[in-house]
């Protein structure tokens, strides 16, 4: 069984080894994660949501499908890949917003008439691969999920976290916060 330190070392190692990849935006995976977490922190979000913002695209760091998979028409289901890996060690309040952040994009496209127009070109492209805007039934069902509100807030930070050359803390500065959401062994 891994210790908390080993678990967080693995997460940070994946960011160090693969975080310089791009995914269709003008920022790297690491820059995007840090920006999302920084925006959440500046807005006084709960610590669990800050960590979810930092880790929301963790699934992108775990695949070797390349940086331009959406252009190739591939949906790697990074939200599920990341959440499934994270749920081994992290609490539900971190994992479920990660799992639901793509659904939150689809939800917001259904719920808010102007949301789709504000998406980046890469987000619009991936939206089509992810199923497009939700239907009425899907949207109403999404609103019943326990972590849907946190996922929607995470999604808004996801949309914001695409600023070229934004100053953020180093990922190591989030280490203690990340460690605090590792599930304790029973």
Q: What is the pLDDT of residues 33-84, one digit of tens each?
A: 999 999 999 999 999 999 999 999 998 888 765 555 555 554 456 788 889 9
Please report the pLDDT score of residue 36 as a whole number.
98
Whether 45 is covered by a domain: the verdict is: yes
Whether 58 is covered by a domain: the verdict is: yes
pLDDT-derived band at 26, boundaries 50, 70, 90: confident
Ramachandran category for residue 132: left, alpha or beta (phi over 0 → left; psi -120 to 50 → alpha): left
The answer to whether residues 64 and 156 touch, using CB atoms and an 8 Å cutoff, is no
Whether 67 is covered by a domain: the verdict is: yes
CA dihedral 32, 38, 40, 42 (to 10 degrees): -150
Q: What domain count does the chain have?
A: 1
Please report the pLDDT score of residue 65 as a whole number.
56
Q: Domain range holding 67?
A: 4-179
The model's pLDDT over 72-116, given as tens digits with 9 standing for 90+, comes to 554 456 788 889 999 999 999 999 999 999 999 999 999 998 999
In the block, residue with structure tokens 């890996």: 85
Whether 184 is covered by a domain: the verdict is: no
Whether 186 is covered by a domain: the verdict is: no
C-alpha span between 156 and 186 (Å, rounded): 34
Whether 185 is covered by a domain: the verdict is: no
């Amino acid at each position: 069984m891994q210790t908390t330190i080993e678990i967080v070392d693995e997460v940070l190692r994946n960011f160090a080894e693969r975080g310089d990849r791009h995914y269709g935006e003008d920022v790297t995976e690491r820059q995007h994660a840090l920006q999302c977490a920084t925006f959440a922190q500046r807005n006084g979000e709960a610590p669990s949501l800050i960590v979810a913002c930092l880790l929301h695209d963790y699934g992108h760091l775990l695949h070797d499908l390349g940086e331009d998979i959406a252009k190739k028409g591939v949906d790697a289901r990074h939200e599920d890949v990341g959440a499934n890996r994270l749920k081994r060690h992290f609490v539900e309040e971190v994992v479920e917003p990660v799992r639901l952040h793509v659904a939150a994009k689809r939800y917001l496209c259904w719920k808010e008439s102007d949301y789709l127009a504000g998406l980046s070109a890469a987000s619009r492209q991936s939206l089509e691969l992810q199923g497009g805007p939700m239907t009425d039934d899907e949207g109403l069902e999404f609103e019943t999920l326990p972590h849907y509100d946190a996922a929607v807030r995470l999604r808004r930070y996801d949309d914001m976290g695409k600023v070229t050359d934004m100053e953020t803390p180093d990922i190591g500065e989030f280490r203690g916060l990340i460690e605090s959401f590792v599930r304790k062994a029973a």
